[in-house]
Structure 1
Amino acid sequence: MRDIEPAPRSDATAARDPVDRGLWAWIGVASAALLASCSTPVPPPAVPAPPIAVVPAPAPPPVSALPAPSLISQAGSPLEYRKDGARHIYERNSARIYKGQLPPLMHAVGVLQVDVDSRGNVRNVNWMRAPSHVPDVMREIERTVRDAAPFPAPVRMGGVTYTDIWLWDKSGNFQLDTLTEGQRSK
């Protein structure tokens, strides 16, 4: 077998080698720089947050520790409770109840929802139809409801939202639709 010898190099090829090597070195450096600029930087390691002290909330008093409600309603529905709520408001405001049939024109008529919790406390009042033309009457009705608390505790329902219609006379006296004596035609 014959050994194959490399072909002799011409002077032109020999002269190009240092340039080729420099060019290839320059391309290598440029490629590395280009690749480095495209990479995503590695985020620094996360520093753990200091531990948060958890303070337990105080436990509510046991149910047996709360006194029993003084007023109890055995109503099984909001409609039944509406009568108990109206009677309660009448008892607490007996001097402000309009006696007899109401006049043909009311000063204000409003529809109010009252949300009562299991102990008879008023959680919220919500106007379904507010007499917005007389804001002072709206405030007075809301105050009257809140001042009447605690309402009879709706023990069978555990809480109730009931609706009643307030019929307000210009004298400041009122009737609730649930217990109204009616309205005169003239």
Structure 2
Amino acid sequence: MSDKRSSSPSSSRQRPWLWGGLMAAMASLLPACKSPPRPPEPGPGSAVQGPSAGRPGSSDAATPRAYRQDAARHLYAQNAPRIYQGQLPAVLYAIGVLEVDIDRNGRVQRLHWMRAPRHAPEVIAEIERTVRAGAPYPVPARMGKVTYTDTWLWDKSGKFQLDTLTEGQL
């Protein structure tokens, strides 16, 4: 006669902790699967290089939206201590939408505020200074020149995230 202990309905009722433990373990692993975006480590042959490299890296982006990723990573790499880590608070000090024209050499040609945080003129000035100081940007190799738009999410601490690489809000 075969052993029927493993297939009896009472065996699953005797170990509810097993299923509960398994579900809790799986639930705790799900958030670990998503890691926040990190700026790339500059290195030899890197597509995005800072001004200390003497010349800008290049971007293979074919659209302004794709180039925005390269520009955001470039700004994050140059401003690492100023990037707000983690999710931003529910209420931000300032939000601005800035359009940036980049020429074929990665230089900033024009800044145009689509939505300026007028209640915080110091933030407007600091964002403009940060964008200009970020030049040269990755050369838009496939487009020749590019106009891209990004949203600046500014915390009262003076740290920021760009909407392109944001970790979200609480």
- Normalising by structure 2, we get a TM-score of 0.68
Is the CA contact 2:103–2:146 (under 8 Å) kept in the aligned structure 1?
A: yes
Give RMSD over aligned pairs: 1.0
**Counterpart position of 1:101:** 87
* Counterparts of 1:77 and 1:176, CA distance in 2: 18
**Counterpart position of 1:138:** 124
Residue 70 (structure 1) shift: 3.3
* Counterparts of 1:118 and 1:77, CA distance in 2: 14
Aligned residues: 117
Q: What secondary structure is seen at the aligned counterpart in 2 of 1:86?
A: helix
**Counterpart position of 2:100:** 114
* Counterparts of 2:60 and 2:132, CA distance in 1: 21
* Counterparts of 2:105 and 2:139, CA distance in 1: 5
Q: Which residue, 133, 138, 141 being the options, matches 1:152? A: 138
**Counterpart position of 1:71:** 57
Give the aligned residue type for 2:121: P
Q: What secondary structure is seen at the aligned counterpart in 2 of 1:128?
A: strand
* Counterparts of 2:56 and 2:69, CA distance in 1: 18
Give the aligned residue type for 1:95: P
Q: Which runs of 4+ in 1 moved over 3 A?
A: none
| Percentage of pairs with the same residue | 61
Residue 69 (structure 1) shift: 4.4
Residue ranges of structure 1 left out of the alignment (5+ in a row): 1-67
- Normalising by structure 1, we get a TM-score of 0.62
